[in-house]
Chain A
């Protein structure tokens, strides 16, 4: 971000109005810094033009890792290291005894895919315990929607535009830190 230390906060109280406001602001070619919502608004990411998430791709890759871990682990323990005869199970090769390993292969695939994906999500969205909350206005966690736009010597223009889009409140805020 450049040194634009002033931002404008437009507050809405309806998600439909917010959506149409986002479209207006995008059409007027202003860059939306951030939108704070109390709940997921369907289609907001598309309207804002956010890139699709790649979390599912990471989950697939983590699942492949989990499967590999399961196969390598059991091949070493049950087939290579100490191939005992346990109740007549054929421990001569991995393939011959594979059906017995499938439940573990499945579970480890799911385990790795799920947990590593969640951890990836936390890292990418910077969430952890004792993290300082980034709430510009506490009402956005309850029933208000807040759109944040940086000001570049166009305060009056922006204020007018946002008023027209149905904002119930417009605040100009000094950003003291260059947060997140």
Chain B
């Protein structure tokens, strides 16, 4: 069964990229139209009469932290830093927004591909009997790991201190907390680590794909065995690097804050969005009549994973939130204070979308076999996990100046277009059935 990328899909993805780039560019230019000269008028117009009440509250953690750590020499510095800050600070947030929007979307689509890669490796390492019919779909999605990862790193490089305040030497010079973390958080080491992570992940992807294609025409099972071994090895590598990646790429936007289960939390998010995309693509291809060896039991299994991992995600989200809420230690709790004060709707809306919705929709065994039901739940889950990434990045970069407008939607369209184009082109490179896999017969007859 061959897949050929259709012209309509190509055109649709190009339109997405162009429209996305235009929207984002418009968002960029309108945010950079505000500058040092007109920021005062801008803020006055924005806030009307409560303008100076605002100046009192809500300064990003950089200044607040400097003030609270003011020791002998920090104190007077904090004073002067505070005076200059309000307008400049607002300007920073306004200018950060297009970069942050781009970063959120880049990371969201990248994490889908990486989540699928982990899921794929788990299927091999566990010698799962149900999933080999879906391997080609998974391999197509994981094609995006390398380009998507490079895009994330590029956005991080261009965004620089717009995203990561520890990349700003001025901030670091006055911030002892960041100074203490400089051996980990410095530009060279950050990008070196990123390249090491990406190299490891895409090396696994490259070889597992190669062995999987080779197995199609091979005599024995040697390619499958190789894949089994490298998958087990990759999973060990992955769980370390994924954790470090989440500290680097996400947690370090709040360099004054840390959480120990953060890596797991990001992992759950990427796994559930990855599985959801596998299900959506499978349903799409099956509706085109291209996957007749996939039956509704496979769909049922995917939906079960969507359901289960959604609850796992909620468990980690709640564990992180509740432990910090309960102990209420000021240096930790600022993270959630900022989110609950300025991001109430996205913060709690995300929990409803990622937990309540799949919980109630996908609990019934019969519903898990109905394609449009799974599609509906899948779209909500994907939107929910976009919001999840949004909630992780935005409060640290734009604070209360968030909105889901032109730059955010533009960035989503841009990366969605790239993602669709690359993934479906990768899908057309190989037959849709991995027919040499020793479990393929079992998988074709899988019935639950």
Interface residues of A (CB under 8 A from B): 56, 60, 88, 99-100, 102
Contact = CB atoms under 8 A, between A and B. Distances in A.
B326 A99 contact: yes
Interface of B: 318, 321-322, 325-326, 328, 363, 365
B328 A88 contact: yes
Contacts of B322: 99-100, 102
B235 to A, nearest CB: 29
A56 B326 CA distance: 35
Contacts, number: 12
A134 B321 CA distance: 54
Contacts of B325: 99
A48 to B, nearest CB: 18
A100 B363 contact: no
Nearest to B324: A99
Nearest to B321: A99
B interface secondary structure, majority: helix
The residue in A99, A100, A102 that gathers the most chain B C-beta atoms within 10 A of its C-beta is A99
Contacts of A102: 318, 322
Q: Nearest 4 A-B pairs (CB), nearest first?
A: A99-B322, A99-B325, A100-B326, A102-B318
A100 B321 CA distance: 11
A56 B304 CA distance: 16
Contacts of A99: 318, 321-322, 325-326
Contacts of B363: 60
B216 to A, nearest CB: 32
Contacts of A88: 328
Contacts of A56: 365
B359 to A, nearest CB: 11
Nearest to B323: A99
A60 B359 CA distance: 12
A102 B317 CA distance: 13
12 contacts: A56-B365, A60-B363, A88-B328, A99-B318, A99-B321, A99-B322, A99-B325, A99-B326, A100-B322, A100-B326, A102-B318, A102-B322
A107 to B, nearest CB: 13
Contacts of A60: 363
A79 B146 CA distance: 53
Given A99-B322, A99-B325, 10 more contacts: A56-B365, A60-B363, A88-B328, A99-B318, A99-B321, A99-B326, A100-B322, A100-B326, A102-B318, A102-B322
A12 to B, nearest CB: 24
A110 to B, nearest CB: 12
Nearest to B318: A102
B448 to A, nearest CB: 11
A30 B305 CA distance: 42
A99 B321 CA distance: 9
Contacts of B318: 99, 102
A88 B325 CA distance: 12
B407 to A, nearest CB: 33
Contacts of B365: 56
A9 to B, nearest CB: 32
A99 B322 CA distance: 6
